[in-house]
Structure 1
């Protein structure tokens, strides 16, 4: 038979010019290796912000004044007794002062019992004065300690906010300049600072995004060790199943070259590598192994079929490239197309991850589809095996069972079971949560130091995570109006009724305090002023005896805008959505005659923006990815039915995986979205190989039963091997200290298992029952 078409000409060219092809690819790999070694592995905060979202715009406008999303909270907890011990108070003071030396710190946003911003206001018939509670010196005598304790208890801005209500812990908060913060540096410097003051008298707990992502960087060495262990395990499993060094080395070489090309290209594009997606990158490189194994198996088939001759291996390599080019490239393009959909998100991090993933996927076309058969053309068909353990008979028995199922009435059972599984999993998939699904950080395990610290702080204080809502107008002095302050106070009471919100802070808390002090501490006067003039006077009195910037976290200098800071005990997606809905509900029911509320800043405000984008775009993204898959299949096979057929295993694998995410309380967040998009492509790769081989055998004149049996025992053999190898390899990541990596590896394992099962049982059963023309139409 004489092959025609551009694929045949391309295959012939690659094999005949194999020396030139290898030299060109070798030079390109050498150059890209240099750049790949320079890739930065880091998390950049600015990349996480969807800058077009109104919440983020509010955050960026007021972050330097009212507090950004990179706030770090440090709790100093007494092991015995309370914190009013000179030795413990000195530790609070030391930490407060040392924080000024930390990189990218905002020195005006360091607040604690030992800072100048923690003040006591006193009034008498003679004058009004303020003095720092514990600055510049720590009280030494018992009388001074008791006086400090009494001052703390009667100060509502400190008691419960910066000193716990049981007096056993003190809080220090510090914010950083978002555009300058480097998580790895901040994490290191703060931990070194804490280590100097930590002893058996206190427990020190530290939380905040710089610390969280610092922990991710801290575990990078372990992550790299897991990458190496995964590569070693894949090689060992390939050697076990294939029993030859050639069939082990060539697929591993394909994965290595794929990684080098991808990392080199993203360095040239100026993109850094996000540490949380390393498991995804490993899986994409593992796909190179998968494609390469398919080509090696097909090469062995062709060698066995061709009569002995001088150009035996060259012809077999050319035929392997010719036969496997279409399903291989179709799988690569489908993976890349489904991943590209994520780039429509306005979040820069997802856009950069998409470019990384698409580039990485397309490198497979070079490292696996082209280079593997070219290198095979120089080799010889192995005459023996490297070890005696032969797993092939067991695997072929399983493949024989799959062929029997697909070609007997059992195929209807498979289709019925698939429909039932789809219905059940689709039902449970609707329980998938958008955003974080558990208290603490889903990136780390629940028993990780960070999550333990978060739980400890939430237990003693009102909440670790913050969101600020701005109340403002263009007119100066807007915040002084009684209507505005009363509305803010009412808003605070309304929001703190939500159990997950432990407390709030605003200028409406300060004015009643000053009013009471001006009336010699009479609690009857703990209320707002009767009019704008009185409120303005009370604010002026407080500001006149304070240091510059003491009110910056509450109001701006012209009193046009005020912040209401809400303290959250967790960042769960449902908690944030409920809070945002309640804010909007309050605004609708309690409109201001002038001015408006603006959502939302702080760590929780930014997360609310990200969750809203994911919630609004996730269904559309999945639908668009499926549409891309249908279009690609329709073009390649010149049939719209082809797209619909290949969409079935994709939808099945997605619903099963999403239902597992819901069952395991894994939320759909900024970290898991790229994994979900990649999974759409993963759900169809194996099906392409099986369907294409059945189509090929039918075109050679085989009947449907014979064509299906041959396809499963040949191409299906490669599917079983690669599926088993990759599933076992990704399961190794379950030991990772990063919960996110472990759970994503598990999901990838599920995706691969469903994909392989669909390709071996569901796809041939569907083709045998419905006999679509794009497979059965050519003779």
Structure 2
């Protein structure tokens, strides 16, 4: 038997016998000034902790949209001409025991209207409800047109005034839009400003949501019920859910702590690791506050992720120290040994994580770019808290002697016993042989093929009605269902902008083309109806000729057409551009599902390509559905770009680390298969790829590559020292295999509690990330040895060294690699034994 114990780092029980000037300059700088390192980190913790308390939670409508996309630039350029067709909130007040023609109901509606009108961020000039004078009725009489506000000027709640109100509602034609089809509720349309004019700062959606709850929802009684929908309310509910999510963060901490404690059986070192992992989160939140960022509800996974990554890297450091202490080495010396062994591997893994998250910056959606930046900053912080602070703190606190000795005994029992762990270990090592390797690779090919077949059907965008960010049973989605059921015109509006020269919106040809586009869109599945100024002019023209339906047409006579347009503009000013440049064509959609939006976009693009001219151009897209359709387009395009850039960057870093293209292939294939299976899982769970779920891919790949880095670094190092593939992988498995398993379980445990989150998209990410973390771990442990058989075998696997290797024992493979003359000693022993 070849005994490789002599090649271990020397066991030093007394730190006085250790040369403190050994190691590289960085190790000496850190460990020869440990108190300074701890004090410096303590001061940073106090500063960032205080700053974290002032970190605001908010988002904005513009952060959710791809602002540089041509369709969004069209909307932003002409936003003033499309007031109310972007970010708006709708409030429906319902009479649960009667209809809207009730004095108490109308007085309650008035209170709601007045409260909302005075809220900060409301675009008051374009707000519409029964109680705003801008919502008007018109009728044709023998004397011509006459009209007025829907609520009579001298309304007093008497039966006569109620009759007039009923008549005015019918004249205004607002049943189905501002009044429910069953006449039991009415709607207040509230367009919002992106910038609060009172403060000059972005609109605070959290504050607005709280105002809506305190000043509007609080007006509910036994007979009055309030329903609120819109982006502002979604964000408000997400922010409210964010605070309850903190409880799930606590569950994640407890589960991860329990797993690490079960592995180490050392309470004090486990608590130290958890403390340092939480420290990384505190530093990140404080740094965001210092840099002027806000905590976005759509970036809620970042603190969870930083905690899980920090704990997993810390567990690797503690494992190395525990092994050395178990052999009799002093905790200070063990900490320095571990720093030498794992600093470069840990630094490389964290840099790969940073790159994996940083590539999200290429996606042209501000909220994802902010997430990329914050996650990269968080991982960069871990370089200090994990690679420096944890070894320094463990050099003082150490690990319990009982836990250290137990870790050595467990390793020996696994290598020599017949436990399930030993059988698993033997099975994994056998994957370096031809037949098992072929079966493993064939199984991976079958899984990948099945995943491609299913994942091919993955869709981009929302797949369910309402707000997919929230649970189907949430109050918001119940409100959406109520509005959809009781109102004829959908809140999902897709707006096409017909652009003409100034004062050209009343040209006959332009109005005719807008009318034809409306007719084409109405034929599409998922489109309820359409409306444009052409429809308004047609109705107004008919009114000018005593309501004769034969005159429901667009007049060719310019003066008649202009007269009808001006009269229409008085009733519907929100649909008229004061410069007469933009003519909106509004398609009311039955839902905002991905397939519906894609059909509308394709139809409008085809129509625009065929009928646009130099003086008449059809532009996409405004309205909530139009903006979401554009976002889906960017997400779909970025999805494939993200894959190419992400895997390219990871491949480059792996090549720099391994200096072997075959090793890069071995490292990447498990990650690619996991991504394929993740897409298949999204199809089976009916989860679409959108802003909230797109980052999952980068997170899964950026974190998953850690397993390959640790396993292959040890394996390739031992192979370069002349050992066979089987023994090299055995050494890698014995040294980092268990910790790879612990990391996979810890990472998955950190996100599993998300499944019960009230925020639906966070629950979806919890399922997907748990799957990716576990499958990346399994894929690395199974496919790395199998693929290595075909790609990474060396001459040592074909010569007489195999007999020697079969009986060799490796207590500390990294010591073999780090020993200055380890390679020479190993070669001599192999030749002598042979």
Q: Same fold (TM over 0.5)?
A: yes
Deviation at 1:665, TM superposition (A): 1.7
What is residue 505 of structure 1 aligned with on the other side?
531
**Partner in structure 2 of residue 586 of structure 1:** 607
How many Å separate the matches in 1 of 2:614 and 2:338? 75
Q: Is the 2:276–2:386 Cα contact (8 Å) retained in structure 1? A: yes
The whole-number CA distance in structure 1 between the counterparts of 2:796 and 2:630 is 46
Q: Contact conserved, 1:121 with 1:514, CA < 8 A, in 2?
A: no
What is the CA distance between 1:12 and its match in structure 2? 4.6
Structure 2 counterparts to residues 56-67 of structure 1, below 5 A: 56-66=72-82, 67=84
Map 1:60-459 to 2 at 5 A: 60-66=76-82, 67-138=84-155, 140-156=157-173, 158-180=174-196, 181-305=203-327, 308=328, 312-385=330-403, 396-397=421-422, 399-408=424-433, 409-459=435-485
Do the aligned residues in 1 keep the contact of 2:533 with 2:575 (CA within 8 Å)? yes
2:669 pairs with 1:669: no
The answer to whether the 8 A contact 1:251-1:293 is kept is yes
Provide the secondary structure at the position in 1 that maps to 2:126: strand
1:767 and 2:780 aligned: no
Stretch deviating more after TM superposition (436-445 or 705-714) = 705-714
| Aligned partner of residue 246 in structure 1, secondary structure | helix
Deviations 1:118-174 (A, max 9, x none): 222234343532211214454634444344334433444x13222233333322211
Query: Contact between 1:529 and 1:535, CA under 8 Å: does it hold in 2?
Result: yes
Task: Out of 345-354 and 650-659, give the one that drifted further.
Answer: 345-354
Q: Which runs of 5+ in 1 are unaligned?
A: none
Distance 1:385 1:633, change over 3 A: closer
Q: CA–CA distance in 1 between the matches of 2:44 and 2:113?
A: 53
CA 1:387–1:671 in 2, change beyond 3 Å: closer, same or farther?
A: farther
Q: How far off is 1:248 after superposition?
A: 0.8
Shift of 1:61: 2.8
For 1:101 and 1:643, how far apart are their aligned partners in 2? 61
1:503 and 1:566 in contact (8 A); partners too: yes
Following TM superposition, by how much is the alpha carbon of 1:289 offset from its aligned partner in structure 2, in angstroms? 0.7
1:595 Cα offset (Å): 1.9
Name the larger-Rg structure: 2
Distance 2:501 2:795 in 1: 66
1:629 — aligned with what?
650
CA distance in 2, matches of 1:692, 1:277: 33
1:615 to 617, 636, 642: 636
Instruction: Give the secondary structure class of the aligned counterpart of 1:684.
Output: helix
Query: Does 1:471 pair with 2:488?
Result: no
Contact 1:632 1:643 in 2 (8 A): no
Of 756, 770, 785, which aligns to 1:735?
756
Tell me, yes or no, if the aligned pair for 2:91 and 2:227 is still in contact at 8 Å: yes
575-584 or 7-16: bigger deviation: 7-16
Whole-Å separation in 1 of the counterparts to 2:436 and 2:743: 26
> Is 1:723 equivalent to 2:744 in the alignment?
yes
Matched, 1:18 2:45: no
What's the offset of the Cα at 1:262?
2.1
Kindly tell me: are residues 244 and 208 of structure 1, through their superposed partners in 2, closer, same or farther at Cα, counting changes over 3 Å? same
Alpha-carbon distance between aligned partners in 1 of 2:194 and 2:708, rounded to the nearest angstrom: 46
User: Which stretch of structure 1 is more off in the superposition, 142-151 or 173-182?
Assistant: 142-151
1:177 deviates by: 0.7
Match of 1:553, SS state, is helix
Q: Deviations over 1:352-410 (max 9, x none)?
A: 21111111112222222222222222344522259999998667336424434424432
- Structure 1 pair 541/451, CA: closer, same or farther in 2 (3 Å)? closer
Deviations 1:591-633 (A, max 9, x none): 4683222211222222222222221121011111101011111
Query: Would the alpha carbon gap of residues 146 and 646 (structure 1) be closer, same or farther in structure 2, given more than 3 Å must change?
Result: same
Q: Work out whether residues 396 and 717 of structure 1, in 8 Å CA contact, stay in contact via their aligned partners in 2.
A: no
Aligned mates of 1:504, 1:172 — CA distance in 2:
21
1:518 to 534, 544, 551: 544
Residue in 1 that maps onto 2:68: 52
Deviations 1:719-748 (A, max 9, x none): 222322332342112111101111111111
Q: For the residues of structure 2 that align with 1:7 and 1:351, how far apart are their CA atoms? A: 40
Task: Give how far 1:500 is off.
Answer: 2.4
User: For 2:797 and 2:590, how far apart are their aligned partners in 1?
Assistant: 60
* Count of residue correspondences: 767
SS for the counterpart of 1:445 is coil
The 5 A counterparts of 1:530-549 are: 530-542=556-568, 546=570
* 1:378–1:97 Cα change, 3 Å: closer
Distance in 1, matches of 2:795 and 2:591, equals 53
Distance 1:403 1:345, change over 3 A: closer
Superposed CA offset, 1:700-726 (max 9, x none): 665433332232233111122232233
Spell out, residue by residue over 1:2-22, the C-alpha distance to the aligned partner (whole angstroms, 9 max, x if none).
99x998543354333333333
Seen in structure 2, the aligned counterparts of structure 1 residues 37 and 169 have a Cα distance that, compared at 3 Å, is closer
> 2:584 maps to which residue?
563
Kept in 2, the 8 Å contact 1:396–1:713? The answer is no
Report which stretch shifted further, 96-105 or 635-644.
635-644
Q: Deviations over 1:161-204 (max 9, x none)?
A: 22233333322211011223221122122223333442233443
Separation of aligned partners in 2, 1:387 and 1:197 = 66
Task: Tell me the distance in 2 between the aligned counterparts of 1:136 and 1:406.
Answer: 85
**Tell me, what secondary structure is at the counterpart of 1:669?**
coil
Say if 2:645 is the partner of 1:659: no
Q: Distance in 2 between matches of 1:126 and 1:214?
A: 51
- Render the CA deviation track for 1:82-126: whole Å, top value 9, x for unaligned: 433333333333333332111110011211233222222234343
Aligned partners of 1:578, 1:387: CA distance in 2, in Å?
66
Distance 1:707 1:302, change over 3 A: farther
| 8 Å Cα contact 2:269-2:394 kept in structure 1 | no
TM-score, normalization by structure 1 = 0.92
2:669 aligns with 648
Counterpart for residue 707 of structure 1: 728
Q: CA deviation at 1:772?
A: 5.4
Alpha-carbon RMSD across the aligned residues, in angstroms, is: 2.9
Structure 1 pair 468–500 and aligned structure 2 pair: CA distance change class (3 A)? same
8 A contact 1:83–1:89 mirrored in 2? yes
Are residues 94 and 261 of structure 1, via their aligned partners in 2, closer, same or farther at CA, if it must alter by over 3 Å? Answer: closer
Q: 2:621 aligned with 1:600, yes or no?
A: yes
CA contact 2:298–2:367 (8 Å) conserved in 1: no
In 1, Cα distance between the equivalents of 2:60 and 2:281? 22
Output the CA distance in 2 between the equivalents of 1:605 and 1:657.
29
Partners of 2:217 and 2:36 in 1: CA distance: 59
Q: Counterparts of 1:623 and 1:633 in 2: how far apart (Å)?
A: 15
Q: CA 1:28–1:280 in 2, change beyond 3 Å: closer, same or farther? A: closer
1:682 aligned onto 2:709: no
CA contact (8 A) 1:641 1:772 kept: no
Q: Decide whether the 8 Å contact of 1:111 with 1:117 is kept in 2.
A: yes
Distance verdict in 2 for CA 1:598–1:298, change over 3 Å: same
Secondary structure at 1:441's aligned position in 2? Answer: coil
Q: Deviations over 1:523-553 (max 9, x none)?
A: 333333232221111233455xx4xxx5431
Specify the SS of the correspondent of 1:83.
coil
